[in-house]
Amino acid sequence: MAALAARPEAVAAGHRISHSETGINGFCKKPVYPYTFWRTANNKRARGEEMPKIHYVAHDGTDRVVDVAEGETVMRGAILNSVPGIDADCGGECACATCHVYIDAAWKDKVGAPNEQETSMLSFVDSVQDTSRLSCQITVTGALDGLVVHLPESQH
């Protein structure tokens, strides 16, 4: 709670702090989902620039295609576009595995393998497969335009 006392202006502004800054739920100067994503995405749309498209395929087979700005994660693209099926309880800190997805087999090599921390978190997932990844650890680039991720039946 010392972090909260040290930042009274942040508490007054009502901004949440990420786990990586304090290790607890608290408040800070920067919001978890900054406005800059929307400003960047909207500017690209206004200029007619293409953004990578990510296909989120729900457990029932429903495909939802979302434009995600380069540099954002697959998880944030889902959360900011209200894609159901990705909970992201930790806000993208690789600390909960509630953004678990299955990478389509055709994209497995382009996305790459999980790192040690991600592999550790995936060990808590009941329905892990060879193509399992945490969507918070996949950064969107132009090379991932058209990426297909399949969502599990449940994140819990």
* pLDDT single digits (tens) 76-122: 999 999 999 999 999 999 999 999 999 999 999 999 999 999 999 99
So what's the pLDDT on residue 110?
Answer: 96
C-alpha 121/C-alpha 75 separation (Å) is 15
Q: Is residue 13 part of a domain?
A: no
Q: Is residue 45 part of a domain?
A: no
Q: Is residue 122 part of a domain?
A: yes
Between these two residues, 9 and 55, which has the higher pLDDT value? Answer: 55
Q: What is the dihedral of CA 144, 111, 78, 55, to 10 degrees?
A: 60
Give the pLDDT band (50/70/90) at residue 139.
Answer: very high
Q: Is residue 43 part of a domain?
A: no
- Domain holding 80, by residue range, is 50-150
Q: Is residue 107 part of a domain?
A: yes
So what's the pLDDT on residue 154?
Answer: 87
> What's the whole-number mean pLDDT along residues 132-136?
97
CATH number of the domain within which 129 lies: 3.10.20.30
C-alpha 42/C-alpha 60 separation (Å) is 30
> What's the whole-number mean pLDDT along residues 9-22?
47
C-alpha 53/C-alpha 40 separation (Å) is 15
Total count of domains within the chain: 1
C-alpha 91/C-alpha 41 separation (Å) is 20
So what's the pLDDT on residue 128?
Answer: 94
Q: Is residue 97 part of a domain?
A: yes
Q: Is residue 119 part of a domain?
A: yes
The candidate with the shortest Cα–Cα distance to 83, out of 74, 70, 92, is 74
* pLDDT single digits (tens) 16-70: 444 444 444 444 444 444 444 555 555 665 566 789 999 999 999 999 999 999 9
Q: Is residue 124 part of a domain?
A: yes
